[in-house]
Amino acid sequence: MSDSRVVRSLSSEWRKVLSTKLWWILAIVIAAYSAMIASMFAFMFSAMGDMLAGAGAGAGAPQLPAQSAANMVYSSVSTFGYVVPLLLGALTATGELRHRTLGLTFTLEPRRGLVLLSKTAVLIVFGVLLGAAGLLGAVGAGAGVTAATGGDPMLGSGETWAVIGRVLAALGIWAVIGFGIGVLVRNQAIAIVIALVFTQFVEPLLRTGAQFWEWSAQIAKFLPGAATDSFVGASVMSSLSSLDPSVPQGSSALGIWAGLAVLVAYAVVAVAAGWLLRWRRDVV
């Protein structure tokens, strides 16, 4: 396979994404959504600290260091916003299937495996770009609220920037997961419903409810959102027990590298299933 063929395929897939309004509309959505969520949590953590200080913060009172608060504020992009790159990937796939543009693509480049790899690579980049848009909103609003309420936004901390880097990587992977789901589902409306319902309702409820029993908490660690939080290394969802003592203490997270492995496994399985069940046979 010549390098020029690979470059031509990558360039073609890149232009396809840029030719639609979808990517920049979703960038605006994730930036605004992340800014709202991050500012809300930044204000909440600041108010929590003020309440603890006013109450004298006894020895048993929950403490929230500035670094932990900053990590949770900025990681809200991946905790709640991963639905956006998921939608990008799914709609990229279903859009091509709906408008039957893949037939022309396969005429120009008959190696379907190359087309699949090119789409995957391009979507990773656009997932990272969406993550950057979300972080602009979250860091801008979250750091602003934190500083305005007397807190430290921790933007000079290496740990903060490590979390930000992992958020970008996680959202790049989520775009690939969405693509695999889109190929499998094919129907655009169904793909949107699945993405929204699972990420915004089903998984958060499953993760919260699973913490009441040790066996279910161990299983919940392997849900895709939980694996994302483990990889990023910070999340409000995985720290509920430290923020609210009435919430049961969940099992320990997978860890950064195990979380990455599980998240990548979801992406590989989604794309492989799409390849085996749809891509090689009836996508045109």
Query: Per-residue pLDDT tens for 7-18?
Result: 988 998 999 999
Q: Which of 162-166, 192-196, 198-202, 213-217 has the highest mean pLDDT?
A: 162-166
What pLDDT is attached to residue 282? 56
pLDDT digits (tens, 9 = 90+) for 156-168: 999 999 999 999 9
Q: What is the 3 state secondary structure string of 79-90? A: HHHCHHHHHHHH
Say whether pLDDT at 53 is over 90. no
The structure tokens 């499953």 sit at 206
Q: Which two tokens stand for residue 216?
A: 């279910």
Complete DSSP assignment for 85-107? HHHHHHHHHHHHHHHT-HHHHHH
What pLDDT is attached to residue 111? 87
What pLDDT is attached to residue 98? 79
Q: Average pLDDT of 221-232? A: 94
Say whether pLDDT at 176 is over 50. yes
What pLDDT is attached to residue 253? 74
C-alpha separations of 73 from 65, 116, 199, 251, 279 in Å: 12, 35, 19, 22, 39
Give the integer Cα–Cα distance in Å for 206 and 204.
Answer: 5
For residue 46, give the 3-state DSSP assignment: helix
Percent of the chain at pLDDT > 70 equals: 87
CB of 55 closer than 8 Å to CB of 161: no
What pLDDT is attached to residue 159? 95
pLDDT digits (tens, 9 = 90+) for 113-142: 888 999 999 999 999 999 999 999 999 999
Furthest-apart CA atoms within the chain: distance in Å: 71
Q: Average pLDDT of 159-182? A: 96
What pLDDT is attached to residue 112? 86
Q: How confident is the model at residue 213 (pLDDT cuts 50, 70, 90)?
A: confident
What pLDDT is attached to residue 59? 47
Q: Average pLDDT of 227-245? A: 76
**Among the listed residues 250, 46, 261, 10, the one whose alpha carbon sits nearest the alpha carbon of residue 145:** 46
pLDDT digits (tens, 9 = 90+) for 55-109: 554 545 456 788 999 999 999 999 999 999 999 999 999 988 777 777 777 878 8
- pTM summary value: 0.89
What pLDDT is attached to residue 49? 63
Lowest mean pLDDT among 65-69, 82-86, 143-147, 262-266: 65-69
Give the integer Cα–Cα distance in Å for 136 and 32.
Answer: 9
Q: What angle do CA 140, 143, 144 make, to 5 degrees?
A: 75
The mean pLDDT of the chain is 86
What pLDDT is attached to residue 283? 54
Q: Average pLDDT of 254-281? A: 90
